[in-house]
Amino acid sequence: MTRRRRHEIPAHAPRSAVVTGAAGGIGTAIAAELVERGYRVLVTDLDGVAAEATAARIGAAGAAGYDVTDPAEAETVTTLARDLAPLGAWVANAGVGFDGTTTGISAGHARALVEINLLGPLWGARAAVAAYREQALAGTAHGGEIGVTASLSALGPVPGLSVYAASKAGVLSLTSALANEVRGEGIRVHAVNPDGVDTALLRGMEPGGQGQALVRSGMLVTPEQVADALVGMFGTSRVYRSVPAWRAAMMRLTGALPGPALRLEPALRAFGAKRAKALGRNT
């Protein structure tokens, strides 16, 4: 049975799409989903060579190396995408997941979390909005989509991942505000909050550390599930979606009642560590 699409791109009116951090993991899944939906996708990544390989494998229209911390590069990437077709979607997926406590994380890792996870989507969104407005004035296209890969950690405190969670909470707040600011222009803004995803980001955390154990205490979702949830919001007014929804309710509870809820943290961490050890034995 063919899956029903909420947002299809007419064959006679192709649009381009940019996906950042798309050489692997969630980014590749999002890029592949957009290719399937008819976008002319520009795969971007800090590793330009890997971006080119991914683009060739999924049938994307192009690839480019892109450092999301550089606002000027965001403008360059929008120009590259518009050379393919009028811009129709910008997905800010690139991110890092350095773990560590508030007092223990290195200054370099803390700065990277803010510059990549929060400022990266900001610079990209600004460039995308500018492109959408230029296209509207020129009469070449109206509106477009902006998607952001946030995190379930944006909804509540995550000991051992405090700075990471703060960066994701910041980008979720930014997404919600931007959705209101561009309302009426045909520009729709969305964010997806996935639970842990078994990607290089999660595997790169300290083995047995507090952050990794807490993430593994939940339900690991696939990159394809994240891609489907994010792109499935395109064409709608929905601002964000959490995957899975039941874990979002738990995270909001810890945010509302951090004292009582976080007393469960040692048990959750122990459960996550046990699951990680079991997964290691079975791989």
| Domains and their CATH numbers in the chain | 16-202+219-256 (3.40.50.720)
Residue linked to tokens 């505000």: 177
Buried b (16+ CB within 10 A) or exposed e, 81-95: bbebbbbbbbbbbbb
Give the residue numbers marked as catalytic: 164
Nearest to 189 by CA among 243, 237, 157: 237
Q: For residue 268, what pLDDT band results from cuts at 50, 70 and 90?
A: very low
What angle is formed at CA 56 by the lines to CA 62 and CA 189, rounded to 5 degrees? Answer: 50
Q: Is the pLDDT of residue 206 over 80?
A: no
pTM metric for this prediction: 0.82
pLDDT tens by residue, 226-257: 999 999 999 999 999 999 776 666 665 565 54
Please state, in angstroms and rounded to a whole number, the distance separating the CA atoms of residues 57 and 211: 33
Q: What is the pLDDT of residue 51?
A: 98
pLDDT tens by residue, 42-55: 999 999 999 999 99
Best-predicted range by mean pLDDT among 143-147, 156-160, 219-223? 143-147
